[in-house]
Amino acid sequence: MIQDNTTHKNSIQTISILGCGWFGLAFARKLIQLSYEVKGSTTTPEKLSKLSAEGIQPFLINFTADQVSADPDFFDADVLFICIPPKRSSTELLDYPQKVNSILAAAKDKSKHVVLISSTSVYADENKTVNEASETAPDTDSGKVVLAAEILFKELFPENYTVIRFAGLIGPDRNPGRFFAGKSNVPNGLAPVNLIHQTDAVGVAVKLLEKQAFGRTYNACSPDHPAKMEFYTNAAKSAGLPEPNFIAEKKDWKIVESVNVPEFLGYAFEVGI
């Protein structure tokens, strides 16, 4: 086992994280603990010193649908993680695939491996269980642009694209108890939830590096799928918030199953939902 870890460290040492937000910063901190060299990006000059204080080599990077304004050294990495979710505003939402395309073009001959952080919103609520082999047919605007970015990625890196599709992210500063606290007649109370805790989101990404299991799509979603009313009522109660009231109905749902994470990464989820 010691020899195995040494092999990984020799071949993968430098990780660039485009987007040190809620997930990216937590991931970077873990990588630094594990002695990787980490480069991190931000679009705000004020955050450069914060990244530096964390032991992250900071880069100021701005990108539009047409171009990337960045130090090329940022993309010189063993693995580049693209961790930028689409913006909520309609104009920027539609620009998302082209922004990712600009980033991929900048990384093309510099990053040995590229990992795109995507979302399980690429699967529609079709009242069934889906996994990595299932058809993608997003029924939300964000799901559509995320899938479009995945398709561009596969076209540019046909032999070696890696996608991690996160379910709904919860954890520090994302207390799910607040989502429906005190609300009444919340629809679809019996629908299953698809969530992942930050600890496991980081754990899956780290395991990908350790196993070097690139070139696949991974659904990163907890195997626990309690009903929406059960999960959010308990979350509100635990947080000392007013309990929501749900309609006991089950419509427009899906269960996101992660087949490739246990099979190719050997990762066991740590945090129950």
Q: Which of 266, 161, 166 is nearest to 210 (CA)?
A: 266
For each of the chain's 273 residues, which pLDDT tens digit applies? 333 444 444 589 999 999 999 999 999 999 999 999 999 999 999 999 999 999 999 999 988 777 778 899 999 999 999 999 888 766 778 889 999 999 999 998 899 999 999 999 999 999 999 999 999 999 999 999 999 999 999 998 888 889 999 999 999 999 999 999 999 999 999 999 999 999 999 999 999 999 999 999 999 999 999 999 999 999 999 999 999 999 999 999 999 999 999 999 999 999 999
* Residue 63 pLDDT: 83
Which domains can be identified in the chain, with CATH numbers? 2-172+194-224+253-265 (3.40.50.720)
User: Residue 99 is encoded by which pair of tokens?
Assistant: 């922004």
Give the three-class secondary structure for 25.
Answer: helix
* Residue 159 pLDDT: 81
DSSP letter assigned to residue 181: T
* Residue 271 pLDDT: 96
Q: What whole-number distance in Å separates Cα of residue 220 and Cα of residue 197?
A: 10
Q: Where are the beta strands (DSSP E) in the chain?
A: 14-18, 37-42, 57-60, 62-63, 68-69, 79-82, 113-119, 128-130, 162-166, 168-170, 195-197, 217-220, 254-256
Q: Which of 137, 152, 162 is nearest to 217 (CA)?
A: 162
Q: What whole-number distance in Å separates Cα of residue 108 and Cα of residue 212?
A: 19
User: What pTM value is reported for the model?
Assistant: 0.92
* Residue 157 pLDDT: 87
Is residue 16 within 8 A of residue 74, CB to CB? The reply is yes
